[in-house]
């Protein structure tokens, strides 16, 4: 209760400053702020993913094509096994041709490159995805560079990365794209907002920052060398946590009423948890994604959407 009152007071002082600046009547905003001092609203990734999946199925029907997606796995990483199987399965469920290609852990780099070349040349294949990580004898950069950018539904090829950072149409990485849809599902406008991304990976941190920038947010990327990361994070009206460290983001790092997107998938004592300390953070945030059930379901849905886009571009 004390925590709630303190939170409410903090909200009040923030909003009053904002209200004066915008010339809003303070009284009206106080009511909104009291409501926001309660637990955050949950962002339901499963529900948002379902909407996107319905859009994908409708687009396939409209185009009258059966887009082909091939998901390649090398070796027996248990997480990759589940991801790749689910990707191919979801593809078939939505009316795509989903194929899972599995190769042994001992596969050579040149054999995988030959396989990618074969898929590039196969006209029935619209999307190629090589699940990462790869066994140590294979350089993932060489494999990504070998994929035809027009079939690169992961959006990892340098040509697509370049287009994304130029703000030009591209195949965009799936998880970052899903993050943007989740933020949009809250109805909170992105333009002009202070957005902080914690983590600078090529798969999530950098592309999510580029997408937020393209939507006119003021974007800061935090990483392992950032000084006073907590203070930077606390500035964020939109906070994206993608560091891969369980419960790294504590309540003190969250600005009251912020939109908090948790990209983390970690395990503590066999239990799935995100990069955000959810139980504590939900008392301060305005909106928050759970783990599981937040970002996770979006990634596969966006992959399907990217594949349909790639197919439409190639075939029409």
Q: Which of 19, 126, 152, 154 is catalytic?
A: 154
Q: Rounded to whole angstroms, what are the CA distances from 233 to 12, 136, 180, 246, 311?
A: 20, 35, 18, 16, 39
Least Å from the CB of residue 79 to ligand GUN: 8
Least Å from the CB of residue 15 to ligand GUN: 38
**Site stretch for ligand GUN (CB under 6 A), options 23-31, 128-136, 160-168, 249-257:** 128-136
Considering only residues 30, 57, 63, 132, which one is a binding residue for ligand GUN as defined by CB under 6 A? 132
Active site residue 137: no
Helices 174-185 and 205-214, axial angle in degrees (round to 10): 50
Per CB under 6 A, does 154 bind ligand GUN?
A: yes
Per CB under 6 A, does 242 bind ligand GUN?
A: no
Per CB under 6 A, does 203 bind ligand GUN?
A: yes
Residue count, binding to ligand GUN (CB under 6 A): 8
Nearer to ligand GUN, 83 or 287 (CB): 83
Active site residue 154: yes
Least Å from the CB of residue 131 to ligand GUN: 5
| CB contact at 8 A, 311 and 153 | no
**Three-class secondary structure of residue 249 per DSSP:** strand
Per CB under 6 A, does 138 bind ligand GUN?
A: no
**Site stretch for ligand GUN (CB under 6 A), options 32-40, 126-134, 219-227, 306-314:** 126-134
**Site stretch for ligand GUN (CB under 6 A), options 96-104, 129-137, 219-227, 231-239:** 129-137
Least Å from the CB of residue 77 to ligand GUN: 9
Give residues 103-122 in contact with ligand GUN (rule: CB under 6 A).
Answer: none
* Helical segments of 97-237, H only: 109-121, 140-146, 158-166, 174-185, 205-214, 229-234
What is the pairing mode between strands 127-130 and 194-198?
unpaired
Q: Rounded to whole angstroms, what are the CA distances from 294 to 12, 225, 307?
A: 29, 28, 22
| CB contact at 8 A, 250 and 281 | yes
- Helix, strand counts (H, E) of the chain: 12, 11
Per CB under 6 A, does 65 bind ligand GUN?
A: no
Question: Residue 73: what are its φ and ψ, rounded to 5°?
Answer: -125, 135
Tell me which residue of 49, 43, 13 sits closest to 30, measured CA to CA. Answer: 13
List all residues 6 or more positions away from 219 whose beta carbon is below 8 Å from its beta carbon. Answer: 195, 196, 197, 209, 212, 213
Per CB under 6 A, does 131 bind ligand GUN?
A: yes
Residues that bind ligand GUN (CB under 6 A): 129-132, 154, 174-175, 203
Question: Which residues are annotated as catalytic?
Answer: 87, 131, 154
């Amino acid at each position: 209760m004390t925590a709630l009152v303190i939170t409410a007071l903090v909200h009040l002082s923030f909003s009053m400053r904002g209200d004066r600046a915008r010339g809003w009547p303070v009284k009206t905003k106080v009511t909104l702020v009291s409501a926001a001092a309660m637990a955050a609203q949950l962002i339901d990734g499963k529900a948002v993913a379902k909407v996107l999946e319905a859009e994908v199925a409708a687009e396939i029907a409209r185009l009258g094509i059966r887009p082909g997606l091939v998901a390649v796995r090398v070796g027996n990483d248990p997480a990759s096994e589940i991801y790749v199987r689910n990707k191919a399965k979801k593809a078939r469920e939505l009316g795509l041709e989903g194929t899972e290609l599995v190769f042994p852990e001992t596969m050579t780099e040149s054999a995988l490159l030959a396989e990618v070349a074969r898929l590039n040349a196969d006209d029935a294949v619209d999307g190629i995805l090589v699940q990462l990580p790869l066994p140590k004898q294979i350089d993932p950069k060489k494999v990504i560079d070998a994929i035809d950018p027009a079939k690169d539904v992961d959006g990892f090829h340098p040509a697509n990365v370049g287009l994304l950072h130029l703000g030009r149409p591209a195949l965009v990485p799936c998880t970052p794209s899903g993050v943007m849809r989740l933020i949009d599902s809250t109805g909170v406008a992105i333009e002009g907002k202070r957005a902080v991304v914690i983590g600078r990976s090529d798969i999530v941190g950098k592309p999510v920052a580029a997408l937020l920038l393209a939507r006119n947010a003021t974007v800061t990327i935090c990483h392992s060398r950032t000084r006073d990361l907590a203070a930077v994070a606390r500035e964020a009206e939109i906070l994206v946590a993608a560091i891969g460290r369980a419960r790294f983001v504590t309540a003190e790092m969250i600005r009251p009423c912020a939109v908090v997107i948790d990209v983390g998938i970690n395990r503590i004592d066999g239990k799935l948890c995100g990069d955000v300390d959810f139980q504590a953070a939900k008392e301060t945030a305005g909106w928050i994604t759970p783990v599981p059930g937040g970002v996770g379901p979006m990634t596969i849905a966006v992959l399907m959407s990217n594949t349909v886009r790639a197919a439409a571009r190639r075939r029409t």
